[in-house]
Amino acid sequence: MTPDGARARPSRRLAPEVLLARLAAAVDQAFPGAEVRELRQVSGGASSLTYSAVLTGVGTSPRACFVKVAPAGLEPVRNRDVVRQAALQALLAEDGRIPVPEILLVDAGDPPDSPPLYVSGAVEGESLEPLVDREPAFPAADVLTGRTLAAGAVLARLHEVDVEWVAGLPAAGPAGVDLGGEVDRWARVFSTVDPELAEVGEQCAERLRRQLPEALAPAVVHGDFRLGNLICAGAAVRAVLDWEIWSITDPRIDLAWFLMTLAHDGLPSAVRTAAPGLPGPAVALAEYERARGAVMPDMAWFGSLSRFRAAAAMALNVKHNRRRPEPDPAIERYAETLVPFLRAGVALLEDDVHVARSRVI
């Protein structure tokens, strides 16, 4: 029991010796004679645990890699389904158009107590979220410009991957678009938060429902596509990371989310208003449309949906943070930004007549 009488939450991490034994057996089966060394937990992903390690006996020199493990004691479903994440990355690697880490092995385990895991090769390069990282090492301005435009082109290529090819993967989910359902899913979050935020959240949800646009053909969608989820070398994108919430749905959900992260007024977690060489959303949208060879309609609606999604996710973080014995003040600061952030999302939809054709972002 905790000091205040509450029941302690069980650990979702495997004991280090248990994980190491699992890995050693899986690696030896995939690469006879190989060994796992230097296993360390690192940050990465919100729904599973990530470790760095070094494999020896795989190739001519030691190989750096990452291990992603579903939390122990929970069913590995939805964003905890690491086997599903690995399956898509392996398929995209086979396709060749989207840079992803190489999947070295997958071990399904025996969940929930022996959770699934996968091992992927490390990719050389850097990851940077220009408006959010507190102590960033910015590249030259022209490099950041090129990187952002390259990211838009990668996203366009992802949305051109054959959906039928991906739909056959285990746990791929429905291959369709339900924009009303997407609004309803996030609207449920606002029924559990502070009254002022709940009121503005419902206003935004009502506007989104009233002005629902026509859906585009479904595409493979990353779900959290942004510069911080890419490994880059200079201006080149070397790998797209964190496939926890991939789905098959309207591609503008991905596109609007990416564009939102390029504008400080679209990001409560932003710590600066600009970064040298970072293009604005309009420039990135133009590059995406050039790469797709098509104009994306209704981007005002999807920009509002992105803010709605982000506010809901951050509201959950704030709520859970307040339940901790020692709340994180950095997360609590988000609470002050969410109401104006949501109101900005509502403002994108204020022109009922013209919003369906708007490309405002």
Tens of pLDDT, residues 278-328: 999 999 999 999 999 999 999 999 999 999 999 999 999 888 888 889 988
Distance CA 86, CA 244 (A): 10
Task: Average the pLDDT over each of 106-115, 206-215, 262-271 and give the range with the smallest value.
Answer: 262-271
Tens of pLDDT, residues 38-53: 999 998 666 789 999 9
Q: Can you tell me the mean pLDDT for 167-172?
A: 86
User: What are the residue ranges spanned by the domains of the chain?
Assistant: 16-121, 141-357
Average pLDDT, the chain: 91
Q: To 10 degrees, the CA torsion angle through 171, 154, 289, 180?
A: 20
Q: Tell me, what's the pLDDT at 355?
A: 44
- Cα Rg for the chain, rounded, in angstroms? 21
State which amino acid sits at residue 180. Answer: G
Task: Average the pLDDT over each of 23-27, 154-158, 194-198, 357-361 and give the range with the smallest value.
Answer: 357-361
Check whether 357 has a pLDDT greater than 50: no
Q: Can you tell me the mean pLDDT for 82-104?
A: 97
Q: Tell me, what's the pLDDT at 97?
A: 96
Tens of pLDDT, residues 119-149: 999 999 999 999 999 999 999 999 999 999 9
DSSP letter for each residue of 263-305: SGGG-TT-S-S--TTPPPHHHHHHHHHHHHTS----HHHHHHH
Check whether 228 has a pLDDT greater than 70: yes
Check whether 260 has a pLDDT greater than 90: yes
Check whether 216 has a pLDDT greater than 50: yes
Q: Can you tell me the mean pLDDT for 78-98?
A: 96
State the helix-helix crossing angle for 299-322 and 179-190, rounded to 10 degrees: 30
Check whether 356 has a pLDDT greater than 70: no
Q: Categorize the per-residue pLDDT at 266 as very low, low, confident or very high, splitting at 50, 70 and 90.
A: low
Q: Can you tell me the mean pLDDT for 249-258?
A: 98
Q: Categorize the per-residue pLDDT at 173 as very low, low, confident or very high, splitting at 50, 70 and 90.
A: confident
3-state SS assignment for residue 119: strand
What class has domain 141-357? Answer: alpha beta
Residue 192 vs residue 284, higher pLDDT: 284
Check whether 101 has a pLDDT greater than 80: yes
Q: Can you tell me the mean pLDDT for 26-46?
A: 90
Q: Categorize the per-residue pLDDT at 8 as very low, low, confident or very high, splitting at 50, 70 and 90.
A: very low
- To which CATH superfamily is domain 16-121 assigned? Phosphorylase Kinase; domain 1 (3.30.200.20)
Query: Token pair for residue 345?
Result: 């999302």
Q: Tell me, what's the pLDDT at 46?
A: 64
Burial 66-83 (b: 16+ CB within 10 A, else e): bbbbbbbebebeebbbbb
CA angle 113, 114, 119 (to 5 degrees): 145
pTM over 0.85: yes
Task: Average the pLDDT over each of 45-59, 98-112, 278-292, 347-361 and give the range with the smallest value.
Answer: 347-361
- What percent of the chain is modeled with pLDDT above 90? 77
Residue 220 vs residue 46, higher pLDDT: 220
3-state SS assignment for residue 38: strand
Check whether 350 has a pLDDT greater than 60: yes
Q: Tell me, what's the pLDDT at 45?
A: 60
Q: Tell me, what's the pLDDT at 4?
A: 46
Most confident of 174-188, 235-249, 339-353: 235-249
